Copies of this chain bind each other. A is one copy, B any other.
Amino acid sequence: MSDPNPLAERHCVKCEPGTPPMSSHEVGQGLEQLDGWTVEDSEGHMRLTKTFKFKGFMPGVELVNRIAEVAEAEGHHPDVLLSYGSVTVHLFTHAAGGLTENDFILAAKIDQLTKS
């Protein structure tokens, strides 16, 4: 996928507590706009997950820093597991208790980081 993803051009909006999570149908539609992300159940809610592979440790640290910059700018923060050779990103929206469009927007922006 080398075309820019329109999702990546959008911005996260503030999510108030009580915001409903996306339906399974909406999640499926969202996944079609992403590249290599999966949805998994974690402690009773859905989350978006992707693992990026690297050689060594420092390229992963660099990605963590780039993700952090985007996350801070968007006010939406993933869980990030840094290991030797990989970075796994988990996204979900606490205030909604599930997935919202913010998660898909941030996923698309993270993908963009790894392609630039």
Nearest Cβ on chain B to A94's Cβ, whole angstroms: 8
Nearest Cβ on chain B to A74's Cβ, whole angstroms: 11
Given A64-B64, A65-B61, A65-B65, A83 and B79 touching (CB < 8 A)?
Answer: yes
Nearest Cβ on chain B to A40's Cβ, whole angstroms: 16
Say how many copies of this protein the assembly contains: 2
Q: Can you offer 24 A-B residue contacts whose CB atoms are under 8 A? A: A57-B68, A57-B71, A57-B72, A57-B77, A58-B68, A58-B72, A61-B64, A61-B65, A61-B68, A64-B64, A64-B82, A65-B65, A68-B82, A77-B83, A77-B84, A79-B81, A79-B82, A79-B83, A80-B81, A80-B82, A80-B83, A81-B81, A81-B82, A82-B82
- Give 12 A-B pairs besides A64-B82, A79-B82 with Cβ atoms closer than 8 angstroms: A58-B68, A61-B64, A64-B64, A65-B65, A77-B83, A77-B84, A79-B81, A79-B83, A80-B81, A80-B82, A81-B82, A82-B82
